Chain A
Amino acid sequence: MARIIGAVASTHVPAIGKAIADHKENDPYWKPFFQGFDYVHQWLAREKPDVAVVFSNDHGLNFFLDKLPTFAVGAASEYRSEDEGWGIPVSKSLKGDPDLSWHIINSLVADEFDITMCQEMLVDHAVTIPMTLMWPNQAWPVKVVPVSINTVQHPLPSVARCYKLGQSIGRALDSYKKDLRVLIVGTGGLSHQLDGKRAGFINKEFDTLCLDKIVNDPQTLTGYSIRDIVEEAGAQGVELLNWVAARGALTGKVSEVHRNYHIPISNTAAATLVLDNKPSSRLKAA
């Protein structure tokens, strides 16, 4: 049976890709952020995931505003990235796991999530940056299943809906017959705003609250409206939805094993979180 080992949640700011390409990891500006991944590398080396289910949002590479799904699940055998127009290096392509993708898709639709299925999907920095932060040489030891959540064009799905989406995917993974170690990844955030007179808005207090709640009390976050999140975390801070969905997919007993929070990376409050997931069945057996 598949086993959900835990989650890594990470900021996906494009400038990180440029910093990696320019080997700036140890520069004073970048070091407090990059050193937060030392532990992540050790944890991944120990936990050895086979596949990663990645919750993120596209920024106008795969999807345009002509057809923009609220939720989309990749079902490709390979996911390429491409030029996004702002000069960050294009990452190596990622291998997919179509069998697992279709299992998740079938489970989601049976569970009344009317998602979009994508046999072709480009992945942008929201997928490739966290993957590169986890595996800097881009020799990915995992296959991926990308799950795309619309955080660009309102109306966005509610926090509660994203949490339920994650929970549904968690149940799908728990029922998957293959022996796979599954890593859940949530990307983006935390607080930031790029547009308008409020550009540069950051809210450390709210981010800290979100990080705490993601770990111990995710249900509480579902009480926030999208407008609340925009207000508290900034217009682009709504990427928190990816984190909430990722947390929903952790079906067992969850504990925080690592946290790094640093302001600023570009215009963003950067956060990295590692959560361990102990399967409930294993707990019962113990």
Chain B
Amino acid sequence: MFDGTQAQKGYALNSMCYSFNKAENRAAFLKDEGAYCRKYGLTAEQQAAVKSRSVLSMIEAGGNIYYLAKLAGIFGLNVQDIGAQQTDMSVNDFKHKLEVAGR
């Protein structure tokens, strides 16, 4: 659960992701990702997690999924794409799993 411990741990990462509400910040991130991460004071673990694009690693580093979704949006990924990534499934298999839940 995203509790006080996680919220403290992830503060810098979530701050950066919050900035992605603005198009100019998304562009600045794409222009120089490393510099943008440093500007927000991301820890080494958070910088590595962002670099790896692994959502599970970013959550481990204190990322909150609503904020991470803004980062994923920069790469054109939606919550089904990142759901598939986190569960190690193809996007089609992940979508199928959801459909099956409705039967």
Asked if B79 is at the interface of the complex by the 8 Å CB criterion, the answer is: yes
B82 touches A153 (CB 8 A): no
Asked if A269 is at the interface of the complex by the 8 Å CB criterion, the answer is: yes
**Known interface pairs A84-B70, A86-B73. Does A194 touch B82 (Cβ–Cβ under 8 Å)?**
yes
**Known interface pairs A65-B64, A204-B102. Does A195 touch B59 (Cβ–Cβ under 8 Å)?**
yes
Asked if A82 is at the interface of the complex by the 8 Å CB criterion, the answer is: yes
Select A235's contact among B1, B20, B67, B99, beta carbons within 8 Å. B1
Q: In A42-69, which residues have CB < 8 Å from any B CB?
A: 59-61, 64-66
* Residue in A83, A85, A194 with the greatest tally of chain B CB atoms within 10 Å: A85
Contact code string B62-76 (vs A, CB < 8 Å = 1, else 0): 001111111011101
* Residue in B56, B78, B82, B101 with the greatest tally of chain A CB atoms within 10 Å: B101
How many B residues, CB 8 Å from partner?
43
How many A residues, CB 8 Å from partner?
35
Residues of B within 8 A of A61 (CB): 21
A263–B4 Cα gap in the complex (Å)?
A: 32
Asked if B36 is at the interface of the complex by the 8 Å CB criterion, the answer is: no
Asked if A21 is at the interface of the complex by the 8 Å CB criterion, the answer is: no
B98 touches A194 (CB 8 A): no
Asked if A15 is at the interface of the complex by the 8 Å CB criterion, the answer is: yes
A267 touches B64 (CB 8 A): no
Select B83's contact among A82, A152, A199, beta carbons within 8 Å. A199
Residues of B within 8 A of A235 (CB): 1-2, 65
Select B26's contact among A85, A194, A200, beta carbons within 8 Å. A85
Closest to A263 in B: B102
Contact code string A122-154 (vs B, CB < 8 Å = 1, else 0): 000000000000000000000000000000111
A236–B82 Cα gap in the complex (Å)?
A: 15
A61 to chain B, nearest CB (A): 6
Q: In B44-103, which residues have CB < 8 Å from any A CB?
A: 55-56, 59, 64-70, 72-74, 76, 78-80, 82-83, 86-87, 94-95, 97-99, 101-102
A60 touches B66 (CB 8 A): yes
B24 to chain A, nearest CB (A): 11
Give me the 4 closest cross-chain CB pairs, A-B, nearest first. A263-B102, A86-B73, A85-B70, A195-B65
What are 9 A-B pairs at a CB distance below 8 A?
A: A60-B18, A60-B64, A65-B64, A83-B22, A86-B69, A199-B86, A204-B101, A264-B95, A269-B102
